[in-house]
């Protein structure tokens, strides 16, 4: 949920929404049931929108959903303590996706109520339009994720007040048209920049333009895409890039700046799901790891078991470093696919700074451990170094700590993805209080580049990619001349642009951010790239895996009318 200002939410009440179960909506008055007349009030509109924002935390940041959206692709493998099901396409349950299905439809129903009855609210016209545009954006947000995952899905656009035992799936083409209509309206009706009462990084015009461009891009790749989709995707993305000052968005000079806590709400973030220690908004519990809590635990999942590394450079014996807040709680759920990440995506570690700004490769000693090469001084010496390359004998002899080269990485010992680090936590076991950044301004250049590529204009595609590639050359420790030389080395020309190049570039920019499965399915590259790069999933993945299975609980709940169909192959 976004932080909401100038509005007092007194109590959280469980409210029945149609057949989907319950959701928590924060309201001024306790209510046992939501009725249409409530949505025609300002508290009803705000309460409904706030509840939907809150529900997003039931998915993004949780362990199950993080595994599902990061697993089964070319850039990641299951960690040593992870569940391999979604990473290998073997043994997963369709009901693992039921939370996404249930939350999406219960929230869509809430949003339908806001949009359907909110027009009667006795508030000024400008404010009302902006509030209803929030609901339109979020309804489109959910439908976009539903069709990306499941294909044809039920299309609900009216508030449901009575349970039903029948349901049908509408053609995905119709759902996309509905999404585009909502986003087109939201892109002009939302405020241009963040505005009270929806603070943090709630939806604005730029957020809607981002998703509109990506919707056109995704539909353009499909069998039902329209001839103008790629041009529209390019035009919308380019308009946001061109008018960035109007929307208060831009790139940081340094790629690393977009990853740090202080800039989570900064100019490069278009949309974020808030997490907070403020119990009114964050629903945060210290020291917990309960599955029901709406907490951001992504700071745990990408971490190796660094405390298991011994002074001898193995994973048994006397530990060389203790777990601590700065280095994080090692849950070892997701690890980089080393041959692809090291040798393909991040092959150029000299000119391109993104590898070292994506992965933690150095662990500083936090105790006086003794190795064959000397005694480590806590707070100064390097205890563990994973340079992402082969080291020389001299480098190995000169370091008192231990070195792991890529050939030595293990399912539980690997470079740690550092984008979600949160050293501000009060104790080691605390979840992160950082918002989960969903959309970044930098992705607009990729959307525009991919659209230009599909239009056959590789000159424009290269120009868009060069913006982020030249930014990637920047290192604060370099001289201006060194940065300029690196930027020149990273500059590409039209003939360099291929689909594989674009996808590799996406890994360099967005590794571990939960976008990859959708990027590969959109571009019809999932099967080929998993078979090429992912040895753990290559023998199991099949063509039908480009869609997710419909949750069995949804199928079983339809007991009248036509049987609710499962996706082919499941």
**Same domain? 331 vs 463:** no
The reply to whether 245 and 302 lie within a common domain is no
What is the total count of domains within the chain?
3
Q: Measured between alpha carbons, how far is 68 from 520 in angstroms, rounded to an integer? A: 14
In a domain? residue 530 = no
State yes or no: pLDDT of 17 exceeds 70.
Answer: no
Examine the domain organization and report whether 69 and 213 are in the same domain.
yes
The pLDDT tens digits for 308-333 are: 999 999 999 999 999 999 999 999 99
Report whether 28 contacts 47 (CB < 8 A).
yes
| 408 and 493 part of one domain | no
Query: What pLDDT does 282 receive?
Result: 53
Whether residue 2 contacts residue 274, with contact meaning beta carbons closer than 8 Å, is answered with: yes
Assess if residue 2 is contained within a domain: no
| Cβ pair 362, 384 in contact under 8 A | yes
Is the per-residue pLDDT at 23 higher than 60? no
pLDDT at residue 276 in the model: 63
What pLDDT band is residue 36 in, cutting at 50, 70 and 90? confident
Q: Order of strands across the sheet with 382-385?
A: 362-364, 382-385, 402-403
> Which 8-state DSSP code applies to residue 437?
E
Q: What is the mean pLDDT of the chain?
A: 91
The rounded radius of gyration (Å) of the Cα atoms in the chain is 24
488 and 354, same structural domain? no
Three-state secondary structure readout of 214-273: HHHHHHHHCCCCCCCHHHHHHHHHHHHHHCHHHHCCCCCCCHHHHHCHHHCCCCCEEEEE
Q: Is residue 16 part of a domain?
A: yes
Domain range spanning residue 376? 298-432
Together in a domain, 426 and 448:
no
First to last CA, the chain: 34
Query: Does the predicted TM-score (pTM) go above 0.85?
Result: yes
Domain identity same for 449 and 427: no
339 lies in the same domain as 305: yes
- Mark whether 411 and 474 lie in a shared domain: no
Is 91 part of a structural domain of the chain?
no
Nearest to 326 by CA among 360, 356, 275, 301: 360
Among 37-46, 50-59, 154-163, 466-475, name the most confident range: 466-475
Average pLDDT over residues 514-534: 98
Q: For residue range 76-114, list pLDDT tens digits in order.
A: 999 999 999 999 999 999 999 999 999 999 999 999 999
Phi, psi for 301 (deg, rounded to 5) = -75, -30
Decide if pLDDT at 306 tops 80.
yes
83 lies in a domain? no
The answer to whether residue 20 is domain-embedded is yes
122-152 per-position pLDDT tens digit = 999 999 999 999 999 999 999 999 999 999 9
Looking at the structure, tell me whether residues 424 and 520 fall in a common domain.
no
Residue with tokens 């539903």: 146
Q: Which of 284, 314, 331 is the last residue of a domain?
A: 284
Q: What is the pLDDT of residue 26?
A: 31
pLDDT at residue number 83:
94
Task: Provide the pLDDT for residue 162.
Answer: 87
Q: Which helix (H) or strand (E) holds 150?
A: helix 125-150
Residues 295/425, Cβ–Cβ less than 8 Å:
no
In a domain, 438, yes or no: no
Of the candidates 409, 432, 455, which is a domain's last residue?
432
CA 309 to mean position of chain CA atoms: 30
Residue 49 lies in a domain: yes
Q: Are residues 260 and 146 in the same domain?
A: yes
Single residue among 253, 284, 315 that ends a domain in this structure = 284
Are 302 and 274 in the same domain?
no
In whole angstroms, give the CA distance from residue 74 to residue 507.
9
Q: How many Å apart are CA 143 and CA 104, to the nearest integer?
A: 8
**Tokens 């500083």 map to which residue?**
364
CATH number of the domain at 196, please. Answer: 1.25.40.390
Whether 28 has a pLDDT exceeding 70, the answer reads no
């Amino acid at each position: 949920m976004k932080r909401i200002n100038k509005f007092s939410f007194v109590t959280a009440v469980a409210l029945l929404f149609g057949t989907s179960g319950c959701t928590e909506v924060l309201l001024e008055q306790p209510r046992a049931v939501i009725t249409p007349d409530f949505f025609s009030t300002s508290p009803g509109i705000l309460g409904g929108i706030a509840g939907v924002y809150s529900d997003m935390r039931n998915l993004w940041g949780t362990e199950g959903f993080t595994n599902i959206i990061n697993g089964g692709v070319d850039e990641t493998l299951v960690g040593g303590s992870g569940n391999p099901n979604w990473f290998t396409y073997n043994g997963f349950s369709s009901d693992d996706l039921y939370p996404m299905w249930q939350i999406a439809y219960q929230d869509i129903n809430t949003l339908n109520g806001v949009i359907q009855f909110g027009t009667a609210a006795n508030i000024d016209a400008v404010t009302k339009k902006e509030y209803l545009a929030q609901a339109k954006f979020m309804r489109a947000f959910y439908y976009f994720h539903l069709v990306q995952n499941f294909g044809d899905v039920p299309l609900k656009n009216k508030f449901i007040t009575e349970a039903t035992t029948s349901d049908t799936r509408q053609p995905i083409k119709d759902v996309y048209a509905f999404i585009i209509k909502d986003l087109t309206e939201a892109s002009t009706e939302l405020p241009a920049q963040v505005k009270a009462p929806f603070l943090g990084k709630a939806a604005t015009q730029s957020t809607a333009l981002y998703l509109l461009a990506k919707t056109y891009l995704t539909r353009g790749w499909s069998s039902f895409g329209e001839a103008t989709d790629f041009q529209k995707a390019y035009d919308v993305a380019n308009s946001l890039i061109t008018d960035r000052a109007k929307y208060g968005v831009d790139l940081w000079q340094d790629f690393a700046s977009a990853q740090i806590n202080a800039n989570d709400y900064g100019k490069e973030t278009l949309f974020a799901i808030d997490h907070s220690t403020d119990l009114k908004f964050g629903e945060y519990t210290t020291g917990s790891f309960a599955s029901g809590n709406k907490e951001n635990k992504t700071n745990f999942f990408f971490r190796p078991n660094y405390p298991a590394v011994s002074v001898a450079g193995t994973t048994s014996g006397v530990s060389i470093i203790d777990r601590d807040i700065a280095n994080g709680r090692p849950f070892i759920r997701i690890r980089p696919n080393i041959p692809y990440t090291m040798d393909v995506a991040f092959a150029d570690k000299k000119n391109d700074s993104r590898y070292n700004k994506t992965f933690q490769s150095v662990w500083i000693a936090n105790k006086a451990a003794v190795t064959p090469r000397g005694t480590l001084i806590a707070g100064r010496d390097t205890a563990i170094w994973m340079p992402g390359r082969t080291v020389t004998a001299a480098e190995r002899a000169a370091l008192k700590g231990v070195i792991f080269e890529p050939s030595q990485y293990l399912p539980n010992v690997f470079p740690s993805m550092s984008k979600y680090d949160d050293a501000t936590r009060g104790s080691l076991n605390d979840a992160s209080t950082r918002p989960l950044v969903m959309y970044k301004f930098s992705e607009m250049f990729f959307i525009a580049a991919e659209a230009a590529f599909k239009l056959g204009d590789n000159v424009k595609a290269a120009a868009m990619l060069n913006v982020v590639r030249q930014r990637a050359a920047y290192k604060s420790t370099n001289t201006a001349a060194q940065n300029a030389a690196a930027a020149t080395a990273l500059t590409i020309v039209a003939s360099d642009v291929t689909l594989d190049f674009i996808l590799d570039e996406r890994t360099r920019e967005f590794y571990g951010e939960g976008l990859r499965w959708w990027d590969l399915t959109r571009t019809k590259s999932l099967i080929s790239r998993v078979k090429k790069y992912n040895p753990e999933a290559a023998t199991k993945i099949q063509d039908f895996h480009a869609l997710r299975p419909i949750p069995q609980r949804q199928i079983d709940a339809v007991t009248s009318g036509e049987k609710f169909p499962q996706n082919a192959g499941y």
